[in-house]
Chains A and B, each alone.
Chain A
């Protein structure tokens, strides 16, 4: 028996290219938010999942870098723009915690609501006020679940039909070079699969002119099987189980132990 908490997120102006090679939410950013909540709301999560309802990015339009008025003679030119590519996101974050009494769960939800309202996601602002009252539209809901079927039920009653459930779809066997590229290319050709940043490996250090240390990291990517909620509704129970088996993500502690510079999610 586990408690799953659903936190609604409406994020504006998040960094669309936070995963460097990807345009969309980064699982590492979601993990960042979860660990932030863990610290601020004092609980321990065993896993987290993401359901994306709406994502709109602007890759070809830029934000203006300056609000200064332009000189009369310069008004003909293209406005200076920042390279920051922004996006808006409506999503729900599912956090899995151990079994809790209902009173304790309600207290936890209040703490989580406070923490969420004070945090950001992937560089963007969480613009809708999240409430602890589960009857509200932006309220945090929770449910005790036994297995994937309970989870499917929870997702189906909370999400809209066109939302996408992010289930991990890691490769089965380790590959390298062209074989790895072929496997990813074949998978990414399907519109249901996405490439997400699931971590990084620290590669080196650098010092800037102020003498600050910067860690340079090399991003790591994996595949996500995006399952539309309406599809989840249509499949039978066995299908739901198969779909949601990989719903929860967690920190890959084994890989980190094997190689201390590697921080990945599985």
Chain B
């Protein structure tokens, strides 16, 4: 540890940066950023006045860095690390005079060391705890230095061979980390790379439910495709900010802007979520809600999901579910105590809690019910049902037990950032009720139709079969000599017939679907978990391939030819049409 407190480290860090340095970030350097000249602009040094060359100095300069990089765990360590990193070019140029052959390696070395530090910091469970100020410093620093490195071209050859003697102590460590980083680079070139960072100090208590009352959550993931010339840090963070200008620059600017002191971090946590294509904002791809705030149509306002709010609302929904479980468990315990009397002690309270969470549907609930009913039998009392024990309404509890989750509007999760995919997922965002829903009675006709779909299908198929039987079969057109036709022609005749049968079968399915009209109330009234394949198909659900195959098998009822090839071919034709037309309904 170089500094006693993080504050001391930060103070030292700020001293090392001149106003000129603050202005000159790598963004202003353009192509020069990748060259030594660029670095020299970033770290202006008087190389002539201090020409001392001592290999020992290099070791002294590097060792604390490596030690810190290896053992950095707290904010204070990190601040110290940043300071040392910032001073590193100074130390290096003190060791190596302004010779160009070393200069090129300077930047390599810095890049390697930075990657090492980055890797160390992000190792473990992949979560970096940073204070807001530290995060700013770290990101700015990492951005500054990493752009100077050539992403993707990292290899063991990049290690400074000339100073091997001086670096002999840390060489194995450097080598191993570099190889680890090379692997990591390869990983982050694909869409699997994920990043999360928590900034724990920017929480403002609020009486409202809003994002600034929760820990800001930066989340990003590298987009697919091969990493080409994009800087390493951008590839890893892939925060595709929808703000004007260069993405990462906007990111830093947002962090720095004093007028947004309260909202800077929510903005940051929010913006990575809305990741469209390129730098442009495209509301159709995102889960935003448009709000009209004024007559001026040129300025529109979009309510967008912030990462931490997505996480918070999910937590809220889950917490409500837990609370319901707890309340049901309490009521169920009271009821069981009444029913069982002394025998209640034979039950395990934890089992009741677990069963209450399942609301009587799962295995634990069933096991408990069995135990309870056997105890009741011993006491010569009537059995209880799962509904009586675990349904809030039956227990006299006026609870909201269910909050709907609705998928993102006009989007799929892959269009949004990692935060959306992680916290909303395919099941969608929790939509908490803002009004009492009017419950209309489900249509009895629709529900009846739903339960008689199999009969309907059989009726329609029977009718089709009769129709097909009245039409001349393609083979009947040839009274004799069919088998003398070439095999190719025979197959063509058969295939044509099979396509016709397939079309008839699909028409039947279409009729079935049109026949069943399910509204909101009916869908709520029906238990879709117990629905058959046909019922789910008719209700517009997306079916798995195996289920579609079952549906395709039904088409054989229309086939009047007893032929193995024809049966297989018809089935595959139907399956192909059903699969090709399968669409994702959000």
Map CB proximity to B onto A160-186 as digits: 1 under 8 Å, 0 otherwise. Answer: 000010000011111111101110111
B470 on interface, CB distance cutoff 8 Å? no
Interface residues on B, range: 35 or more
Contacting residues, chain B, for A203 (C-beta < 8 A): 263, 266-267, 270-271, 304, 306
Tell me whether A58 and B436 are in contact (CB under 8 A). Answer: no
- Shortest distance from the beta carbon of B159 to any chain A beta carbon, whole Å: 42
Chain B CB count within 10 A is highest, among A17, A19, A20, A199, for A20
A83 on interface, CB distance cutoff 8 Å? yes
- Shortest distance from the beta carbon of A92 to any chain B beta carbon, whole Å: 13
Chain B CB count within 10 A is highest, among A54, A82, A83, A178, for A83
Q: Which of A76, A185, A207, A222 contacts B510 (CB 8 A)?
A: A76
Tell me whether A25 and B281 are in contact (CB under 8 A). Answer: no
Q: Which of B304, B305, B316 contacts A181 (CB 8 A)?
A: B316
Tell me whether A61 and B519 are in contact (CB under 8 A). Answer: yes
Tell me whether A216 and B271 are in contact (CB under 8 A). Answer: yes
Task: State the CA gap A222–B210 with chains docked (Å).
Answer: 9
User: What is the chain A residue whose CB lies nearest that of B305?
Assistant: A20
Tell me whether B207 and A217 are in contact (CB under 8 A). Answer: no
Asked, given contacts A57-B437, A83-B411, whether A213 binds B299 with beta carbons under 8 Å apart, the answer is yes
Contacting residues, chain B, for A56 (C-beta < 8 A): 437-438, 440, 520
Contacting residues, chain A, for B313 (C-beta < 8 A): 21
Contacting residues, chain A, for B270 (C-beta < 8 A): 203-204, 216, 218
Map CB proximity to A onto B274-315 as digits: 1 under 8 Å, 0 otherwise. Answer: 100001111100011101110000111111111001001101
Instruction: Determine, out of B25-33, B163-171, B198-206, the stretch whose residues face the partner at the interface.
Output: B198-206
- Shortest distance from the beta carbon of B461 to any chain A beta carbon, whole Å: 16
Contacting residues, chain A, for B430 (C-beta < 8 A): 21
Chain A CB count within 10 A is highest, among B206, B271, B430, B435, for B435
Contacting residues, chain B, for A19 (C-beta < 8 A): 289, 303, 434
B400 on interface, CB distance cutoff 8 Å? yes
Tell me whether B282 and A209 are in contact (CB under 8 A). Answer: yes
Contacting residues, chain A, for B535 (C-beta < 8 A): none
Chain B CB count within 10 A is highest, among A21, A28, A190, A196, for A21
The interface on chain A, measured as residues whose beta carbon lies within 8 A of the other chain's beta carbons, has a size of 87
Task: State the CA gap A75–B243 with chains docked (Å).
Answer: 42
Tell me whether B210 and A201 are in contact (CB under 8 A). Answer: yes
A234 on interface, CB distance cutoff 8 Å? no
Q: Which of A78, A175, A208 contacts B540 (CB 8 A)?
A: A78
Contacting residues, chain B, for A226 (C-beta < 8 A): 435-436
> Which secondary structure dominates where chain A touches chain B?
mixed
Task: State the CA gap A203–B272 with chains docked (Å).
Answer: 12
Q: Which of B306, B407, B513 contacts A218 (CB 8 A)?
A: B306
B47 on interface, CB distance cutoff 8 Å? no
A206 on interface, CB distance cutoff 8 Å? yes
Q: Which residues of chain B have a CB within 8 Å of any CB of chain A? A: 203-215, 242-244, 254, 260, 262-263, 266-267, 270-271, 274, 279-283, 287-289, 291-293, 298-306, 309, 312-313, 315-316, 319-320, 323-324, 327, 398-400, 404, 406-411, 429-438, 440, 506, 509-510, 513, 519-520, 523, 540, 577-578, 581-583, 585-586
Q: Please, could you name 13 A-B residue pairs with CB atoms under 8 Å apart, sorted by A?
A: A26-B434, A59-B406, A62-B585, A80-B583, A174-B213, A175-B205, A191-B436, A194-B433, A197-B434, A204-B267, A214-B283, A216-B302, A261-B263
Which 5 A-B pairs have CB atoms at the shortest separation, nearest pair first?
A: A24-B434, A24-B435, A206-B281, A174-B205, A83-B409
Q: Which residues of chain A have a CB within 8 Å of any CB of chain B? A: 15, 17-26, 28, 32, 52, 54-62, 74-78, 80-85, 89, 164, 170-178, 180-182, 184-186, 188-191, 194-209, 212-222, 224, 226, 259, 261, 264
